[in-house]
Structure 1
Amino acid sequence: MISVHDADPMGVLGRLTVFRREFHRCLTARGDALFELADALLCGDGPVRSLVELSLVGEHRRGHGSLYAALNRGRVDVDRLRTALAAVPVPRAADGRIVLAVDVTCWLRPEAHTSPQRVLCHTYGRGKDTHIMIPGWPYSLVTALETGRGSWTAPLDARRLAPGDDAASVTAGQVREVVARLIAAGQWRPGDPDIWIVAVAGYDGPRLAFLLADLPVRLLVRMRSDRVLRRRAPLARTGNGRPPRHGGEFIFGDPTSWGTPDAESTTVTRLYGTATARAWNQLHPRLTHRTAWTSHTGTLPIIEGTVILLRVDRLPSGAIAKPVWLWWSHPQATTAETNLLWQAFLRRFDIEHTFRMLKQTLGWTSPKLRDPHAADRWTWLVLATYTQLRLARGAVADLRRPWERPAPPERLTPARVRRGFRHLHGKAGTPASAPKPSRPGPGRPPGLPNHHPATRHDVHIVTSTEPKDSPKKPKKSTTPRPRRTG
């Protein structure tokens, strides 16, 4: 295992100090106020419930007015901050490769009628465990995963999805930029193992593999259980006409169409019992000139990959264990690779711990900001704060509660590292200058009403793949057929 605690001539405190100085240089307007806001986020006691409470933290030496002014009128050099995040040592898998996870999480703003660029975000578990669409700002995050069980990841990039954005195209461009920055920072060199990209079923795996074919990456994406893929076309030509482009069907819901697997592995685990993974090579979806492939000119490509079926005896929560279908962008997989791939997919769920840490402890989605650009600045402050917590691992004391178990420094959770960061703050120093004394402005005269109310904005529900004049979708069938196209 290669972690962020590898031998470094600068040490933990040196790497933290260098990153803090570079982070301060990325704040090009109202930088001192933004930097002290991030310090207050690092050194606060307990979860963050509101922005104004951060102005009471000792590390925030300015008034609460400068806090809001910094978020509304400050500036962050996002490109430089992305480069700084890529320069921080990233965690790696057991074989030394980099594993990245991509996912979308939402900043819900259902009552923010004066906030622009809101879209309907998919949520689950609200009400009676149903899928509900709630207005908000969706953010696409790319994070590096660690090996083994844990709640740490390394966020490398975040991007807000604007109305009309194609999630696959945005994610492909985002991953391309992250990989380019990792290569420029020396995190990946020619001859190193390919970078793995792990995603959930909401992503179009074959399309992402087609868009990222020129990069040293391999994609591992979960697929729905109603998919139908195709085998290679037979070499022997039968009858007249043009030769076929697709072979026989591989129906996920029909075991009689599977045939003999090309690789199979069985592993006994502590949490899931016996885990059995079977792989079938050289399978591809049958693409059509619809949805994401509408603008594609010429013949549609044949995107081959490996399909992996994972079955386990039980789940840790006690729920029924359903089979998991995975698609790997390489047309062949050995038994050893199949065993590594499904374990890498399980590590993807560590990103859920990061989302919970960002939202529930660091208060990422707690502020009631109106401007989405201010929300972007706050998002980058939160990511920079989390990166500092990751760099401080192993250098802070474990200030555990009486009911918590002792843990070695390398096993501390992000929340427990934040609890002891205040004692490390003085050693790391601060590049922010001391505030100058000033008097508050007069504000609005008493009794004078606001004659310029804020503009109210509608929620966007139209995406780039669904034109405005498209007809209404028919009702969902109670007996759906398997999806035979990509």
Structure 2
Amino acid sequence: MAMPKFNNNQLIAQFQDFRQKIYNCFESCSDACMNLLDALAGNTGANSIAELSLSPLFPRTYNSIYKAIIASFNTTSQEMNNEEQEGGKEEEEKEEKPNNLIRVVSELIRQPQQRPFYLFAIDTTPHPRPYARTLAERGYIYQPNTIKGNKPINIGHSYSILSILPEKETVNAAPWSIPISGERVSLDKTGVDVGSEQISEVMSDSSLPWQEKLCVLVADSAYSQRSFLFEQSKHKNLVVIARVRSNRIFYQSPPVDESKKKRGCPKKYGERFNLADVETWHFPDETTQIQQTTRKGRLLNITILAWHQMLMRGTKHQKMYRHPFTLLRIHVTDDTNQSLWKPIWLIVIGEQRGEISPTVANHCYRQRFDIEHMLRFSKQRLLMTEFQTPDVLHEENWIRLVMLAYAQLWAAKDLATHLPRPWERYLKPQSDTIMTPSTVQRDFPRIISEIGTPARSPKTRGNSIGRVQGQAQTQRTKHPVVKKQSKSTPNKQKAA
């Protein structure tokens, strides 16, 4: 079924309505916040946050940029102190603000037509700050290193990003991943723990369009651990597709034989299934073979083996034998039957996993890599990791602003025109692979100049009196780098 088409006036009206709703989400400095979002979404040359003030979409001084970041989500130190004093009512209002942003962004996602479910992706991305000694709650984070042999670690923060993967009209359509929730991973939690909380928040909000509809979450091997899958299995309409390492051990469901039924607790696990040992594999319940052609015309042969009703070991409180899953082995070969890369293993878990065929599960997991493109674009073109601040709350505000700027690019996708560079003349203007985030960002200033902005023009307020002569600046506190504790070590904070 083809995606619905809209005329230009409808697209402009929808985009203006979306921008007005974002504008209404900011309670203070809303004009500066909106100008900052526009300058960020239309950024093509700024390499720092202050340089965004040179954009024609930001008609204010560079000081207003930092005021907008601080006031965007009302997380100044004074406001935080007032919230602690006044109690729970303000905490509820603070939690309601991100929810409003999720509702606004979720309205951009059309209901899927080609597939009967909404597709989500989750991942954790590093935010390195190795030299920010006055920034609190810094720890050792995972960051891939291009130099072979070096440890893939750095010092700073990590952020868990939950996004929606929109339905593609064609197989080779541009990769888009719309972020709807971004939370910092605190020192007492892991990225998997924060991701589980984000999913629970999104799945429990009855005002969101995917409520009571089938949802699929794709994730990498870090999210295939027992604690995460057990929590997600509580959501009746959620199916999780997660990659697993090739050395994991699972179990078959125990055979049920009423004639040999004995007293006591029935057997919960069947025969052992070692992914690294072919001898332990039983005959697959389903075998699927498909062919796929890449953009360059290369033919791929994909073989998918499926084992149903598989189990993983649980604990006293996480009884995983109550949550069987489907195990998939995906092997890709070329036309000479040579293996192109190492076979991958996926698990499909959830009450409605039967609605997801092995072929659909493979396509869903392949689309998971779109979130990697989004994170890379956000860091290179939206300055996601360029905001140097000693305040953790202000850093969190900046991450949310970057997510909104990316959502603006998605909302303006159908209004943008292709502006090729001199070396990009080979690209066809009508191809759907053209409208990438980069090409929309290139044309974004023209779109805003034509449709306008809900932000009001700035007013000159004169020069600030500055600091009083003789006033002493208090030095910021330097915080140590905190190393997270393992389960076997005492519950005391270590500083490196």
Cα distance per residue 1:47-94 (max 9 Å; x no partner): x41011011111211111121122234435323212211222247473
2:474 maps to amino acid: H
| Offset of residue 173 of structure 1 | 2.3
| Offset of residue 449 of structure 1 | 8.8
Please give the alpha-carbon distance, in whole angstroms, between the structure 1 residues aligned to 2:176 and 2:226. 29
**Structure 1 residue 230 corresponds to structure 2 residue 251:** yes
Q: Is the 8 A contact 2:237 2:351 kept in 1?
A: no
Compared with structure 1, are the counterparts of its residues 360 and 281 closer, same or farther at alpha carbon in structure 2 (3 Å cutoff)? same
Please give the alpha-carbon distance, in whole angstroms, between the structure 1 residues aligned to 2:332 and 2:401. 40
Q: Is the 8 A contact 1:209 1:218 kept in 2?
A: no
Structure 1 residues 168-179: aligned runs within 5 Å: 168-179=192-203
1:362 maps to amino acid: L
Compared with structure 1, are the counterparts of its residues 197 and 205 closer, same or farther at alpha carbon in structure 2 (3 Å cutoff)? farther
Structure 1 residues 179-218: aligned runs within 5 Å: 179-181=203-205, 184-185=207-208, 187-188=209-210, 190=212, 192=213, 194-204=214-224, 206-212=226-232, 213-218=234-239
Aligned residue for 1:403, secondary structure, equals helix
Compared with structure 1, are the counterparts of its residues 69 and 396 closer, same or farther at alpha carbon in structure 2 (3 Å cutoff)? same
Please give the alpha-carbon distance, in whole angstroms, between the structure 2 residues aligned to 1:240 and 1:248. 21
Q: Is the 8 A contact 2:226 2:314 kept in 1?
A: no
Match of 2:458 among 418, 435, 440: 435
1:67 maps to amino acid: I
Equivalence for 2:301: 274
Cα distance per residue 1:368-415 (max 9 Å; x no partner): 122121112111211111111111112122111011123327431111
Q: Is the 8 A contact 1:264 1:335 kept in 2?
A: no
Please give the alpha-carbon distance, in whole angstroms, between the structure 2 residues aligned to 1:276 and 1:450. 70
Equivalence for 1:25: 24
Please give the alpha-carbon distance, in whole angstroms, between the structure 1 residues aligned to 2:100 and 2:352. 39
Compared with structure 1, are the counterparts of its residues 40 and 300 closer, same or farther at alpha carbon in structure 2 (3 Å cutoff)? closer
User: Which runs of 5 or more residues in structure 1 are unaligned?
Assistant: 290-295, 473-486
| Offset of residue 270 of structure 1 | 2.2
Compared with structure 1, are the counterparts of its residues 426 and 90 closer, same or farther at alpha carbon in structure 2 (3 Å cutoff)? same
Please give the alpha-carbon distance, in whole angstroms, between the structure 2 residues aligned to 1:214 and 1:336. 16
Please give the alpha-carbon distance, in whole angstroms, between the structure 2 residues aligned to 1:59 and 1:151. 26
Higher-helix-fraction structure: 2
Equivalence for 1:58: 56
Match of 1:70 among 68, 71, 75: 68
Compared with structure 1, are the counterparts of its residues 61 and 380 closer, same or farther at alpha carbon in structure 2 (3 Å cutoff)? same
Please give the alpha-carbon distance, in whole angstroms, between the structure 2 residues aligned to 1:177 and 1:30. 27
Equivalence for 1:292: none
**Structure 1 residue 347 corresponds to structure 2 residue 374:** no
Structure 1 residues 65-74 or 393-402, which shifts more?
65-74
Q: Is the 8 A contact 1:230 1:246 kept in 2?
A: yes
2:273 maps to amino acid: F
Please give the alpha-carbon distance, in whole angstroms, between the structure 2 residues aligned to 1:189 and 1:27. 26
Please give the alpha-carbon distance, in whole angstroms, between the structure 2 residues aligned to 1:43 and 1:330. 41
Please give the alpha-carbon distance, in whole angstroms, between the structure 2 residues aligned to 1:131 and 1:23. 41
Q: Is the 8 A contact 2:136 2:391 kept in 1?
A: yes
Compared with structure 1, are the counterparts of its residues 20 and 331 closer, same or farther at alpha carbon in structure 2 (3 Å cutoff)? closer
Please give the alpha-carbon distance, in whole angstroms, between the structure 1 residues aligned to 2:157 and 2:334. 35
TM-score after normalising by structure 2: 0.83
Please give the alpha-carbon distance, in whole angstroms, between the structure 2 residues aligned to 1:21 and 1:242. 60
Equivalence for 2:87: none
Compared with structure 1, are the counterparts of its residues 88 and 239 closer, same or farther at alpha carbon in structure 2 (3 Å cutoff)? closer
Compared with structure 1, are the counterparts of its residues 422 and 6 closer, same or farther at alpha carbon in structure 2 (3 Å cutoff)? same
Equivalence for 1:461: 483
Equivalence for 2:33: 34
Equivalence for 1:359: 379
**Structure 1 residue 11 corresponds to structure 2 residue 5:** no
Q: Is the 8 A contact 1:141 1:157 kept in 2?
A: yes
Cα distance per residue 1:101-130 (max 9 Å; x no partner): 111111111111111122321111343264
Q: Is the 8 A contact 2:26 2:73 kept in 1?
A: yes
Equivalence for 1:165: 189
Compared with structure 1, are the counterparts of its residues 110 and 466 closer, same or farther at alpha carbon in structure 2 (3 Å cutoff)? farther
Compared with structure 1, are the counterparts of its residues 126 and 10 closer, same or farther at alpha carbon in structure 2 (3 Å cutoff)? same
**Structure 1 residue 419 corresponds to structure 2 residue 446:** no
Aligned residue for 2:346, secondary structure, equals strand
Q: Is the 8 A contact 1:230 1:247 kept in 2?
A: yes
| Offset of residue 37 of structure 1 | 1.0
| Offset of residue 265 of structure 1 | 0.9
Q: Is the 8 A contact 1:72 1:371 kept in 2?
A: no
Match of 2:242 among 221, 234, 252: 221
Q: Is the 8 A contact 1:105 1:140 kept in 2?
A: yes
Structure 1 residues 35-44 or 160-169, which shifts more?
160-169
TM-score after normalising by structure 1: 0.85
2:309 maps to amino acid: Q
| Offset of residue 180 of structure 1 | 3.8
Structure 1 residues 388-403: aligned runs within 5 Å: 388-403=408-423
1:259 maps to amino acid: H
| Offset of residue 463 of structure 1 | 5.3
Equivalence for 2:47: 49
Compared with structure 1, are the counterparts of its residues 106 and 93 closer, same or farther at alpha carbon in structure 2 (3 Å cutoff)? farther
1:262 maps to amino acid: D
Aligned residue for 2:438, secondary structure, equals helix
Q: Is the 8 A contact 1:166 1:463 kept in 2?
A: no
Superposition RMSD on alpha carbons, in Å?
3.1
Compared with structure 1, are the counterparts of its residues 67 and 159 closer, same or farther at alpha carbon in structure 2 (3 Å cutoff)? same
Please give the alpha-carbon distance, in whole angstroms, between the structure 2 residues aligned to 1:456 and 1:43. 36
Aligned residue for 2:422, secondary structure, equals coil
1:143 maps to amino acid: S
Please give the alpha-carbon distance, in whole angstroms, between the structure 1 residues aligned to 2:66 and 2:17. 27
Structure 1 residues 325-334 or 48-57, which shifts more?
325-334
